[in-house]
């Protein structure tokens, strides 16, 4: 008997239900939500004459990526010592993985980056940076840090290497080291990936206005490029939308997510972001419409949780339960000790046993990854377990960087209120 993987079981369990729900949701989705997607598609996207001509021949980035993968794979097969061809293939596979959610592509990209480095360490910074990024994607942050530190030692004071080190240290909660590396970056305003990483540091360290400005400047640079994959160009708009959403600027978040859709029609991250904006406004049917468009392509745990919340708010407990179950199955296949959005969902809507499991996992994770959001999850788990004093101590750590985030603020207020009312 063939053994089905967890993802196959999830797809089989949801296929019929999803098809029916998608039809119902699209019919129920109000006119304003439909107009948002149409408006996003109507936003101007500049395209050079050569690229416009090419677009008549190859109609999608997916086709271009598949052709590129085949091309570089042939070159790799023909040259066992081709370091540059290996990193070119790894980069293409990584891009395709981000667009499709393919873990096999990302795993292959990691292997190729290692092969490229083994062939040549010198003047191969792209391979080190890509290897670190693939390790981060599976939450191997300490391994990623070792890789980033190695390339920084080989090519010191390179802005992209310093920014990468700083970003990894933000994930680990090593904020003093991150600050030192980011302050050492000589940012010329043209390296938009460096700008996005700097923006993340400013955001986490409580300077959201500077972060917002850096992201917008990066976006200006990205939007002038017509040689970037649509998925990559859309990411910068999505990243700005995430910043705006976390800081409670819902209109600005919606605008940024719409621009992401304009850059990459059907972008699942932007659709998930719009679903969360709709939930924040209490626009449940809009949230369902966006969320089901996104999960029709990729079963992201965060978006599945958003759908569960929206259906619950509309009183449809059956659909809410289905999506919550799907979220759990999907989250358990994700890297790391715990998928944080899943953990927060269970803390708010799960059973006592599920909340206890989240607390156990949050304690495990914080030993390896002590960033502000890890401390926030642990604080909220302790709060739900009735351990208020310990929850308050953890929450103080979560707020220690003065990060401007509506979620952190709401959790801190709830914990302080519960302690004050004892």
Q: How far apart, in whole angstroms, are the C-alpha atoms of residue 316 and residue 86? A: 50
Q: How many CB atoms lie within 10 A of CB 47?
A: 12
pLDDT of residue 28 exceeding 50, the answer is no
pLDDT of residue 12 exceeding 90, the answer is no
Assigned domain for 381 exists: yes
Assigned domain for 186 exists: no
Assigned domain for 204 exists: no
CATH of the domain at 136: 1.25.40.10
Assigned domain for 361 exists: yes
DSSP alpha helix (H) spans, 282-402: 284-295, 301-313, 317-331, 340-349, 352-368, 372-384, 388-398
Give the range among 32-41, 106-115, 367-376 with minimum mean pLDDT.
32-41
Q: What is the pLDDT of residues 204-213, one digit of tens each?
A: 999 999 999 9
Give the number of domains in the chain. 2
Structure tokens at 313: 């708010």
Give the range among 27-31, 170-174, 377-381 with minimum mean pLDDT.
27-31
Closest-CA residue to 233 (of 259, 212, 198, 251): 259
CATH of the domain at 357: 1.25.40
* Residue 187 φ/ψ region, left for φ over 0, alpha for ψ in the -120 to 50 degree band, beta for the rest: beta
Q: Residues 66-70: what's their mean pLDDT? A: 93
* Those residues with Cβ within 8 angstroms of residue 259's Cβ, 6 or more apart along the chain or in another chain: 40, 43, 237
The pLDDT, as a whole number, for residue 31 is: 47
Q: What is the pLDDT of residues 219-272, one digit of tens each?
A: 999 999 988 888 899 999 999 999 999 999 999 999 999 999 999 998 999 999
pLDDT of residue 47 exceeding 70, the answer is no
Assigned domain for 51 exists: no
More confident residue, 37 or 55: 37
Assigned domain for 343 exists: yes
Which regions of 92-194 does DSSP assign to beta strands (E)?
A: none
pLDDT of residue 48 exceeding 70, the answer is no
Q: How far apart, in whole angstroms, are the C-alpha atoms of residue 352 and residue 177? A: 38
Q: Residues 341-361: what's their mean pLDDT? A: 94
More confident residue, 288 or 229: 288
Domain boundary among 155, 185, 206: 155
Closest-CA residue to 269 (of 232, 215, 216, 311): 232
Q: What does the mean pLDDT of the chain come to?
A: 88
* Residue 234 φ/ψ region, left for φ over 0, alpha for ψ in the -120 to 50 degree band, beta for the rest: alpha
- In the block, which residue shows the tokens 């400013």? 202
The pLDDT, as a whole number, for residue 101 is: 78
Q: How far apart, in whole angstroms, are the C-alpha atoms of residue 346 and residue 362? A: 12
The pLDDT, as a whole number, for residue 59 is: 54
Assigned domain for 349 exists: yes
pLDDT of residue 10 exceeding 70, the answer is no
DSSP letter for each residue of 250-294: HHHHHHHHHHHHHHSTT-HHHHHHHHHHHHHHT-HHHHHHHHHHH
Q: Residues 292-303: what's their mean pLDDT? A: 91
Q: What is the pTM of this model?
A: 0.84
pLDDT of residue 52 exceeding 90, the answer is no
Domain boundary among 91, 121, 155: 155
Domain boundary among 129, 155, 181: 155
DSSP alpha helix (H) spans, 81-124: 83-100, 103-119
The pLDDT, as a whole number, for residue 42 is: 57
pLDDT of residue 51 exceeding 90, the answer is no
Q: In the structure, what pLDDT confidence band is assigned to residue 60 with cuts at 50, 70 and 90?
A: confident
Closest-CA residue to 254 (of 232, 228, 283, 229): 283
Specify the DSSP class assigned to residue 4. Answer: P
Whole domain around residue 402: which residue ranges?
A: 336-422
Assigned domain for 414 exists: yes
């Amino acid at each position: 008997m063939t053994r089905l993987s967890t993802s196959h079981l999830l797809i089989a369990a949801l296929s019929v239900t999803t098809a029916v729900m998608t039809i119902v949701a699209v019919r129920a989705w109000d006119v304003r939500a439909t107009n948002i997607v149409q408006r996003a598609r109507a936003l101007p996207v500049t395209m050079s004459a050569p690229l416009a001509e090419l677009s008549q021949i190859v109609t999608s980035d997916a086709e271009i990526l598949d052709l590129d993968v085949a091309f570089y794979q042939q070159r790799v097969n023909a040259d066992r010592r081709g370091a540059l061809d290996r990193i070119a293939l790894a980069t293409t596979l990584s891009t395709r993985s981000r667009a499709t959610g393919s873990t096999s592509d990302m795993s292959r990209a990691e292997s190729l980056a290692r092969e490229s480095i083994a062939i040549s360490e010198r003047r191969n910074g792209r391979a080190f940076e890509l290897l670190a990024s693939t390790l981060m994607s599976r939450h191997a942050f300490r391994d990623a840090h070792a890789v980033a530190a190695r390339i920084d030692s080989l090519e010191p004071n390179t802005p992209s290497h310093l920014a990468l080190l700083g970003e990894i240290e933000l994930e680990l909660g090593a904020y003093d080291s991150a600050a030192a590396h980011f302050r050492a970056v000589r940012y010329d305003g043209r390296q938009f990936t460096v700008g996005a990483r700097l923006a993340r540091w400013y955001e986490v360290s409580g300077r959201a206005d500077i972060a917002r400005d850096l992201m917008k400047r990066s976006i200006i640079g990205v939007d002038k490029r017509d040689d970037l994959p649509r998925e990559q160009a859309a990411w910068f708009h999505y990243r700005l939308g995430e910043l705006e959403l976390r800081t409670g600027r819902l209109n600005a978040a919606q605008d940024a997510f719409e621009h992401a859709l304009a850059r990459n029609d059907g972008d699942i991250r932007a659709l998930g972001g719009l679903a969360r904006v709709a939930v924040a406004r209490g626009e449940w049917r809009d949230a369902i419409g966006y969320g089901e468009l996104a999960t029709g392509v990729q079963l992201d745990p965060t978006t599945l949780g958003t759908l569960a919340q929206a259906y619950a708010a509309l009183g449809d407990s059956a659909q809410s339960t289905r999506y919550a179950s799907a979220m759990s199955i999907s989250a358990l296949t994700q890297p790391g000790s715990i998928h944080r959005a899943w953990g927060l969902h269970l803390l708010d809507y799960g059973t006592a046993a599920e909340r206890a499991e989240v607390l156990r996992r949050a304690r495990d994770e914080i030993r390896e990854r002590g960033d502000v959001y890890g401390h926030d999850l642990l604080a909220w788990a302790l709060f739900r377990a009735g351990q208020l004093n310990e929850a308050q101590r953890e929450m103080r750590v979560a707020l220690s960087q003065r990060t401007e985030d509506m979620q952190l603020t709401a959790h801190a207020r709830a914990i302080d209120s519960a302690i004050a009312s004892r």
